[in-house]
Structure 1
Amino acid sequence: MKNKKLAKHLKCFVLDHLWVILLFLAAPVSIMIVYLTLISGNPGGTWWYYVFLSLFILLCFLLYRLYSTWDFYEILCNENKTLEDFLISEPKGREEQHYRKLVEEQHRLYLNRLARMEDKQKQSKIMIYRWVHQLKMPLSVIRLVSENKKGDSDFRKIAQSAAQIQYDLDQVLNMYKLDAIKNDFHSEKVNLHSMCKDCINELKSSFITKGIFPKLEIADDLVVYSDSKWLRFVLYQLLTNAIKYSDEGKKITVRADRSEECTSLSIQDEGCGIDPRDFNRIFDLFFTGQNGRLRGESSGLGLYMVKQSLDYLGHTIMVQSELGKGSTFTIYFHAKSEI
């Protein structure tokens, strides 16, 4: 690989200086050969001496050019380029010095523009946070009033709508928090039974409202390495989706299995399943799919955030689904060293 890169480097250099070589051979060398041969008539050893001296001077010139532009051609031959890769740390010739000044100026302008964009994004994020938290206060009052009068069918509908709004607002906040997962990550031992049980209890009212029965099949001592906060978020999203797309009287099973290679955690529902045409796009941002459009309950954020979170945590998620019979989302936990 290194030899191939060097050959490409030298090839670019020779092609760029081919005109110098041809001009040198066509002018000084050729003219002097013609002069010594035709005019002098008896060049003797002078002809060979002049050719050797000329080629030596040409070789010295090319070697100097190769040395003074080495880093420049190194950049041109580099296939994986970032903006920082275009910077030359120690320029050797005047061309590289001028090139470095030009790139540094462009890099400075880029960093300034990037800083302004980050500031605008930060301000936008702060505004969204404030807006969401301002909505949560009157929303909490609505839910409290509705729960106190849950015997009234109209208030039950209001409570359900308020819960949906609360869920959507939390998704907006989690979407922004996803950008900061690198600064909010801690690998630790997580008891899957306790975590899944807690998530099911948090969604108890949703299970009761829709008449869906949760079933937990996980050993009490089953432990994996992950981040408890983000893994809880993933499980909450998957369980919420399972409830959302299941009908009354159905069952949602949460089970885990351990093998020599990894531990798997599955959330299996008996809902409407996933349309085969949508299967390859379910983790795309804002993709709602056929089921989301029919039921009008999908924002296209949940599964996207699930996939992004698990990718960073180092876990794998696989999906099995049959239209009209349900879906199974399985998370695979690998060894601690792979997180």
Structure 2
Amino acid sequence: MKQLWRITERYYPWLLLLLGVDCFCAIILWISDIQAFQILIGLVVLTSILLFSAILFVLNKRETTRRELFRDFLSDPTICNEERLLSAISREEGESIRLLASVLQEHKTESNSMADALQDYEEYVEGWAHEAKTPLSLLTMLLDNRSDEISPLLQAKLDYVRSQLQEDVTQMLYYARLKSSTKDYQFEDIDLNDCLGEVLEDYAPLLEEKQFVILNKLQSETVYTDRRGLQFMLGQIVSNAIKYSSDSPMLTISMIHSETADVLSVEDNGIGVKKYDLPYIFQKGFTGDSTDSRKKATGMGLYLVKKIADDLNLYLEATSQWGKGFKIVIFFPKLRSNGGK
């Protein structure tokens, strides 16, 4: 309807001209024969209206066809679509379409090349990360089976190196997965205590080195989400707590329930985040203040946590007091049955 109105606005001068001709004919009829004027004036006006309506219908159909052909050409600028469009437009417009076609073809070729390069890069990164897991596994076996042959100090250092490398590799894998066009999330009911236990076990050497006190207040909690994604999120949160811990570090994990969500809270008593930095902690590459504890930060951990939370339809909130601790909260929305709507 809007398109028909636009066409009417475009060609309304011709309608006025047609009505002017009708008025002229009416005057001539009225002067020549008053009886003929009374008989024919209605027929003249009706004929003009029908003629103009028919012209509008034809123009609207032609405009719709051209619009569809142009849309097809833009979405897929092949020679076939280009020729179909050229057959429906004027020669002057055709020159512009040919120029546009050449530009679109160049951009399509560049886009395909970039997509292929990106896919190769993603495959390389994922392949490298999986290959890096082999020496990490060997290092883990060595630390587990030959601990009596290694001094405690050296074992602690190797544990630290292994944990740091494992975290870096995991970050790289998840970053590549987030940029991939396909995601392999598997949603299921997850025992939160089991999931958290595996995360704490992975970071056990670093937690023991910093002498962390873990207060796990979780009961028998179950959440519906992707297990690997949640473990990665929890791992990054625990890693942050370790990096920015206080002299007597403590990590508290708890959960509360509301009508709309299950709310998981992970809180530490570390150095925290300054108030003016807090709104930006989930941004890519943001490291906050330049204190010694953050000089080696990459700013990727919480950024990836936020991205995965978005993918899993989870909501995050962070609160902190500088010098007193940091708290991050994960909201797991409750599933509603059809009967509850």
TM-score (norm 2): 0.74
CA shift, 1:66, in A, is 2.6
Amino acid paired to 2:213: F
Distance 1:288 1:85, change over 3 A: farther
> In the alignment, is residue 193 of structure 1 matched against residue 193 of structure 2?
yes
| 2:60 is equivalent to residue 66 of structure 1 | yes
- Higher alpha-carbon deviation: 279-288 or 290-299: 290-299
Residues 140 and 256 from structure 1, CA distance in 2 versus in 1: closer, same or farther, beyond 3 angstroms? same
Look up the SS of the partner of 2:190 in the other structure: strand
Give the drift of 1:295. Answer: 2.2
Which amino acid is the alignment partner of residue 44 of structure 2?
Answer: Y
- Which is worse superposed, 132-141 or 48-57? 132-141
Q: 1:222 to 1:132 in 2, by over 3 A?
A: closer
Cα drift, residue 290 of structure 1: 1.8
Q: Which residue of 1 is the match for residue 20 of structure 2?
A: 30
Identity percentage of aligned residues: 23
Task: Report the alpha carbon displacement of residue 177 of structure 1 after superposing the two structures with TM.
Answer: 1.9
1:127 maps to which residue? Answer: 124
Q: 1-side partners of 2:215 and 2:137: how far apart?
A: 30
- Relative to structure 2, which stretch is displaced further, 116-125 or 285-294? 285-294
Cα deviation for residue 215 of structure 1 reads 1.6
- Other-structure match for 2:12: 21
What does residue range 138-217 of structure 1 map to in structure 2 within 5 Å? 149-152=150-153, 160-161=160-161, 163-180=163-180, 183-217=183-217
Range with bigger deviation, 295-304 or 137-146: 137-146
Counterpart of 1:287 in structure 2 is: 286
What TM-score do you get using the length of structure 1 for normalisation?
0.75
SS of the counterpart of 2:32? coil
Structure 1 pair 332–40 and aligned structure 2 pair: CA distance change class (3 A): closer
- What SS does the aligned partner of 1:289 have? coil
1:215·1:254 contact (CA, 8 Å) conserved in 2?
A: yes
Mapped to 2, the partners of 1:185 and 1:52 lie a distance apart of 66
Partner residue, 1:318: 317
Aligned to 1:55: 49
Query: Which string of whole-angstrom CA distances, capped at 9 and with x for unpartnered residues, describes residues 183-235 of structure 1?
Result: 4121211111121122112111011122222221111x221211112111111
Displacement of 1:71: 6.8
Instruction: Let me know the Cα RMSD of the aligned residues.
Output: 4.2
Offset at residue 270 of structure 1 (A): 0.3
Query: Which residue pairs with 1:241 in the alignment?
Result: 240
Q: Matches of 1:74 and 1:115 in 2, distance apart?
A: 25
Tell me which residue corresponds to 2:299: 300
Whether the 8 Å CA contact 1:13–1:73 is kept in 2: the answer is: no
Separation of aligned partners in 1, 2:139 and 2:253 = 32
- Mark the CA change 1:291 to 1:75 in structure 2 (over 3 Å): closer, same or farther: farther
Distance change in 2, residues 1:97/1:305 (3 Å):
farther
**Number of equivalent positions:** 313
1:276-314 Cα distance to aligned partner (Å, 9 max, x none): 212222111222222677522321211111112122222
Runs of 5+ in structure 2 lacking a partner?
78-83
